[in-house]
């Protein structure tokens, strides 16, 4: 259902952008025609080609930039190769991962429960398991205050805002235990709500 909604949104954007480009092209042709007509009625001192180049150069630059922006938008959009969807809800001070049929509550492993060699304040009592190379669609929100879901090694960061859903893609580009933390000061125990993902 979410994928259908996203496809609907992006299809609408695509149509609007095609309309925009068509309008720019149409106006460019009209302007070239007008300049040509005006220039032909001026007897001396004007060069039609200079006028055309002067007019067309910025137009071409704008069209190229517009096409580049559209390509970047569509090559990086969330509809490509999504393997799975997971919801993440931030709470003071734990995470709730929503999988297909169940939720898991992810808390910090307290220092007194850590084992020798464990990393301090980044271990969690549960982790989710994702395949290496997979692309996960994360729908993020918060239950109380603003949190921020961050996994630096994957370049993944988004704010979790109560009442809103922020959607990002998480690409598991490497294997191992990938650590992150809440990156928005969210209360007394802000520094104690780590994230860990097991990528295999
Ligand atoms: Cu937080």
72-112 pLDDT, tens digit per residue, is: 777 665 555 555 788 999 999 999 999 877 888 999 988 88
Question: Under DSSP, is residue 29 helix (H, G, I), strand (E, B) or coil?
Answer: helix
Confidence of residue 21 (pLDDT cuts 50, 70, 90): confident
For the chain, helix, strand, coil in percent to 5 are 40, 30, 30
Q: How many domains does the chain have?
A: 2
Residue 24: domain span: 2-75
C-alpha dihedral over 156, 161, 163, 164, to 10 degrees?
Answer: -40
**Shared domain check, 113 and 16:** no
Are 134 and 84 in contact, with CB atoms under 8 Å apart?
yes
CATH number of domain containing 149: 2.60.40.420
Q: Ligand 1 mean position to 188 CA, how many Å? A: 9
113-149 pLDDT, tens digit per residue, is: 878 887 888 888 888 888 898 888 889 999 999 999 9
Q: Ligand 1 mean position to 99 CA, how many Å? A: 20
CA distance 24 to 63: 8
**Shared domain check, 70 and 92:** no
CA distance 24 to 42: 27
Q: Ligand 1 mean position to 156 CA, how many Å? A: 15
More confident residue, 45 or 98: 98
Q: Ligand 1 mean position to 110 CA, how many Å? A: 17
Last residue of a domain, one of 42, 75, 108: 75
Q: Ligand 1 mean position to 142 CA, how many Å? A: 9
Last residue of a domain, one of 75, 109, 130: 75
């Amino acid at each position: 259902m979410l994928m259908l909604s996203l496809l609907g949104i992006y299809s609408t954007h695509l149509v609007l952008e095609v309309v925009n480009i068509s309008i720019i092209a149409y106006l460019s042709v009209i302007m070239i025609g007008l300049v040509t007509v005006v220039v032909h009625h001026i007897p001396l001192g004007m060069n039609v080609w200079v006028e055309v180049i002067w007019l067309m150069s910025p137009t071409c630059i704008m069209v190229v930039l517009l096409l580049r922006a559209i390509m970047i938008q569509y090559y990086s959009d969330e509809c490509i190769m999504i393997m799975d969807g997971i919801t993440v809800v931030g709470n003071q001070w734990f995470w709730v991962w929503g999988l297909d049929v169940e939720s898991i509550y992810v808390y910090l492993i307290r220092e007194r429960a850590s084992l020798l060699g464990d990393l301090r304040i980044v271990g969690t009592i549960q982790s989710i398991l994702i395949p290496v190379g997979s692309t996960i669609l994360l729908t993020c929100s918060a239950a109380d205050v603003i949190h921020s879901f961050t996994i630096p090694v994957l370049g993944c960061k988004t704010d979790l805002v109560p009442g809103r859903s922020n959607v990002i893609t998480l690409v598991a580009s490497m294997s191992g235990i990938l650590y992150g933390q809440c990156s928005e000061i969210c209360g007394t125990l802000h520094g104690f709500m780590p994230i860990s993902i097991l990528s295999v």
